[in-house]
Structure 1
Amino acid sequence: MKLGCTYIKVSDMEKSINFYSKLLQIQPQYSNKERWVMFNCGNTLALYNLQYDIDMLNKNENTDFHYNEAYIKYLRQENTGAGKTVVFNFDVDNLNEEFERVKNLNIGKVSEIMYVNITMPYYFFIVNDLDGNEIEVTGNYCSK
């Protein structure tokens, strides 16, 4: 088994595309802008708009063609929505420069640079996307 891609459930596809395009400094490599968007950032990171499928189900438009009963049952369950299910960790060469770049983007809440030293020194900051998913950014830190 190998990892195919990692995807994030988002609630507003257009705003999420804008957020991740700015954060990752790349445009999507594939896009069905209403339901699925993929970025190639070392591995595939995709955005998935679950609401697209829920709306299709509610419209009852050709649902037997698009979905099976198991997926329809899944859509009707609670807690299938967006937000705070995984922390994404990105590594950069210069944490200080990346921190300033991300803050200046004004795309979401950004923490201060944090420090943890349990088994080794570790510096990082967190930026939250529109659905509250945490993106952790770490890398070489230069004290000022």
Structure 2
Amino acid sequence: MITIEGFYFTVTDLDKSIKFYEELLGISPTHVEANRWADFYQGDKHFGLLCDAEINQCRAVGNNGVLNFYSDNIQQDYEQIKNMGAKIIDKLCDTPDSPYEYLSFTVLDPDENRIEIAWYPVTIQ
């Protein structure tokens, strides 16, 4: 079984982002690697900020990633999330352009980060 350990956002200015999240979360990072990355922990929950260490510049930012979850009952989960009032940007549909058969929909969190919920009828290998 794979479990979620935490996640990282890529940022354009590590110092500026650290300050923002310190103010937002009310905590300081538990570790900062000079102009490369920073980790924030709240109990066993983990959040990080990441910059490109090779060239000492930050990676591109802004809706570059998608957090993906698997659903074992996608129709029920779609209705539940729709009833929550979450902003759904891609309605529940199949994926005719994909070599794999699956159903999915995409919602935005309050910060407009993309979250895809998907259902696969068979294991994709």
Instruction: Give TM-score, length-normalised by structure 2.
Output: 0.50
| Higher RCO (CA-CA < 8 Å; seq separation 6+) | 1
Instruction: Give TM-score, length-normalised by structure 1.
Output: 0.44
| Structure (1/2) with the larger helix percentage | 1
| Structure (1/2) with the larger strand percentage | 2
